[in-house]
Amino acid sequence: MSRKQKIMLCRILTAGGLLILLHFIPAEGLLRFFLYLIPYGIIGWDILKKAGKGILRGQVLDENLLMAVATLGALVIGLTKTGDYTEAVAVMLFYQIGELFQSYAVGKSRRNIAALMDIRPDYANVELDGKPVRTDPDEVPVGSVLLLQPGEKVPIDGVVLEGRSSVDTSALTGESVPREVQPGDEIISGCINMSGVLRMRTTREFGDSTASRILDLVENASSRKSRSENFISRFARWYTPAVVIGACLLGLLPPLVSLALGRASEWAEWGYRALTFLVISCPCALVVSIPLSFFAGLGGAGRAGVLIKGSNYLEALSKAEAVVFDKTGTLTRGVFEVAGIHHSTLEDQRLLEIAAHAECASSHPIAVSIRRAWGKEIDRGRVTEIEEIGGNGILARVDGRRIAAGNERLMTQQGISFIPCHHTGTIVHLAVDGQYAGHIVIDDTLKPESAGAVTALRKAGVRRIVMLTGDRRAAAERVASQLGIEEIHSDLLPQDKVAKVEELLGQKSPKGVLVFVGDGINDAPVLTRADVGIAMGALGSDAAIEAADVVLMDDNPMQIAKAVRIARKCLAIVYENIVFAIGVKAVCLILGAAGVANMWLAIFADVGVMILAVLNAIRALFVSKL
Ligand code: ADP
Ligand code: MG
């Protein structure tokens, strides 16, 4: 509990105690009134102050004013008619109990999320003259050497230089199996080094490191409002004036009518009903529980390794109708093995060396795989004029000779005649100084979870599943048939993918949502264009984290169906709360107007609904178990 909450608890206890005590004091008349003002002041002064401030600022009709008017009115009724002030104090008391409960729940789920995302490192041990020096991560330049003891958090992204260990990535990915690392492997900030001592070299600044970016993302997520949340503010805009007018009518009309008919006017009775009506109308449960549900949903999803950048995307995801996949790196592992080298005019190793050097700067999975197949140190000094042509390949000079490495399109575009390959797999053709030099056949493997992911999405109610790829038709068909995807579009350049997605956007139903899943390489524009862009395996890929609306921390495609299920669950909770809160409100309002419900019942209904709604909202925090 925070200090503020503790103070509130004290106020509640004091006022409650005084209220009970006053019950036994036989004071009468004005003295009794002033005695009751003490607990009323203790528990309600801040509400009165906020109501006053609201009036001065011109935003009159909020819940503080509702409470102030209702309780002051109850005091006046007590003074003029019943001589009992318990109700006014109790109403305020219960309202504050509700508020305290709510602030505790919100604070708790906020803290929970912060704890779940406990990835912010406090320090980095920089190696200086062979000794570790504790440094603020913010002040560590790129290329520094860090030492990591077992149990320490990796503060900055980097590469392992020395040592073997397993790292726990669960805070980032939700994946509980630790990952083994050895020299040469990348490691990302936010993981925990578990078993061995590691020496690593940083490859980024702290601010650009994965942990910092993810925290930024999580912290900003709740500022993007969903339509349901906007619905609440629109609702409040007409609801509050409506109930105030309703209360005025209820307080004035019946007595005036009675007066006109020559009967007793009963001002106090109808005044009391009007005030009860006001207390009941207070929409706290809605106002509180809806943002809380989204907040908890975002937190629960985060815990499962699904980072959603705003509640608007959470809501959109729940309506997913079509899911469009990129192939390489999304459905396939994006780790290509060299399956053969054909028609080479050079020695195979020489061809691979040239290809690896030409690809030295690309982050495309093909490039990474070719560099790995070459396996030796790459001397970047030998490579100049690198130009990556998205969805086609690479142009560069290696040792001063013009190299083209890429697909058939690239060869055609460069005016080089090539020998087509009849093997399955992805083909990288090579040309040296405009002369065809042979091709490398590389083969990608499916991720083991891909087929399951497609089935799970179908089961989750996604009607249309499409695969887009820049690869050849043959390679695309092979993958699609293994996964059971019927609709494929191949040979697409990055801009064609955007056009294709736009075409698909035009075909879906008006309320349906199109989700695109990619790895951020050559498909960042598509991630932005789709209704919801999901980037997967995005740890470390800046473009993807920027462009995507949802970031999956590991590259398991099963997570997509999970994200959809989480979103549906969270939205279901939101709707439950809306229906429940408005329903109970409506019944109580009618009872209040009819004079059946008194202020006690009103306040119990209000606090009760709010507590139930908040408890229901908190369920969204546990959606990761879905
Ligand atoms: P996908 O849609 O399957 O993710 P991309 O759009 O990234 O594929 O690439 C499409 C095709 O462009 C690849 O199949 C490959 O033939 C070629 N290509 C792209 N980048 C490179 C590269 N760096 N080196 C060689 N070929 C490349
Ligand atoms: Mg791709």
Q: Residue 13's pLDDT is what?
A: 94
With a 6 A CB cut-off, is 428 part of the ligand 1 pocket? Answer: yes
Rounded to the nearest angstrom, the distance between the alpha carbon of 224 and the centre of ligand 2 is: 28
Q: Residue 467's pLDDT is what?
A: 95
Given 129, 208, 216, 326, the catalytic residue: 326
Rounded to the nearest angstrom, the distance between the alpha carbon of 332 and the centre of ligand 2 is: 10
Give the whole-angstrom CA distance, residue 189 versus residue 204.
Answer: 10
In DSSP notation, 464-509 reads: EEEEE-SS-HHHHHHHHHHHT--EEE-S--HHHHHHHHHHHHHHS-
426 alpha carbon, closest ligand? 1
Q: Residue 416's pLDDT is what?
A: 93
With a 6 A CB cut-off, is 332 part of the ligand 1 pocket? Answer: no
CATH number belonging to domain 335-444? 3.40.1110.10
Q: Residue 619's pLDDT is what?
A: 83
Q: Residue 454's pLDDT is what?
A: 94
Rounded to the nearest angstrom, the distance between the alpha carbon of 504 and the centre of ligand 2 is: 18
What's the number of CA atoms in the CB half-sphere (13 Å) around residue 6? 3
Give the whole-angstrom CA distance, residue 588 versus residue 594.
Answer: 10
With a 6 A CB cut-off, is 524 part of the ligand 1 pocket? Answer: no
> Over the stretch 305-337, which tens digit does the pLDDT of each residue have?
888 888 889 999 999 999 999 988 889 888 888
Residue bearing the CA closest to ligand 1, atom 8: 470
- Positions of the chain with pLDDT lower than 50, given as ranges: none
Ligand 1 atom showing the smallest separation from residue 362 Cα: 23
Rounded to the nearest angstrom, the distance between the alpha carbon of 470 and the centre of ligand 2 is: 8
Q: Residue 445's pLDDT is what?
A: 85
Q: Residue 356's pLDDT is what?
A: 94
Give Rg (Cα) of the chain. Answer: 33
CATH number belonging to domain 124-155+157-203? 2.70.150.10
Ligand 1 atom showing the smallest separation from residue 494 Cα: 6
Q: Residue 431's pLDDT is what?
A: 95
Mutate to test the pocket of ligand 1, among 471, 493, 498, 541 (most ligand atoms within 8 A of CB): 471
Contact indicator for 553, 306 with CB cutoff of 8 Å? yes
Burial of 67 (0-12, 13-18, 19+ CB in 10 A): buried
Rounded to the nearest angstrom, the distance between the alpha carbon of 41 and the centre of ligand 2 is: 65
Ligand 2 ion: Cβ-proximal residues, 5 Å cutoff:
326, 328, 521-522
With a 6 A CB cut-off, is 471 part of the ligand 1 pocket? Answer: yes
Mutate to test the pocket of ligand 1, among 326, 364, 386, 536 (most ligand atoms within 8 A of CB): 364
Q: Where are the domains of the chain?
A: 124-155+157-203, 335-444
All residues at 6 or more sequence positions from 527 whose CB lies less than 8 Å from its CB, including other chains = 516, 518, 520, 533, 534, 535, 544, 547, 548, 549
Residue with the two structure tokens 């009941």:
280
With a 6 A CB cut-off, is 326 part of the ligand 1 pocket? Answer: yes
With a 6 A CB cut-off, is 522 part of the ligand 1 pocket? Answer: yes
Mutate to test the pocket of ligand 1, among 370, 407, 444 (most ligand atoms within 8 A of CB): 407
Three-state DSSP at 29 gives helix
In DSSP notation, 555-572 reads: --THHHHHHHHHHHHHHH
Q: Would you give the distance in Å from CA 538 to the centre of its chain? A: 15
Phi-psi category of residue 599: left, alpha or beta, with phi > 0 → left and psi -120 to 50 → alpha: alpha
Catalytic residue flag (residue 326):
yes
With a 6 A CB cut-off, is 292 part of the ligand 1 pocket? Answer: no
Give the whole-angstrom CA distance, residue 67 versus residue 105.
Answer: 22
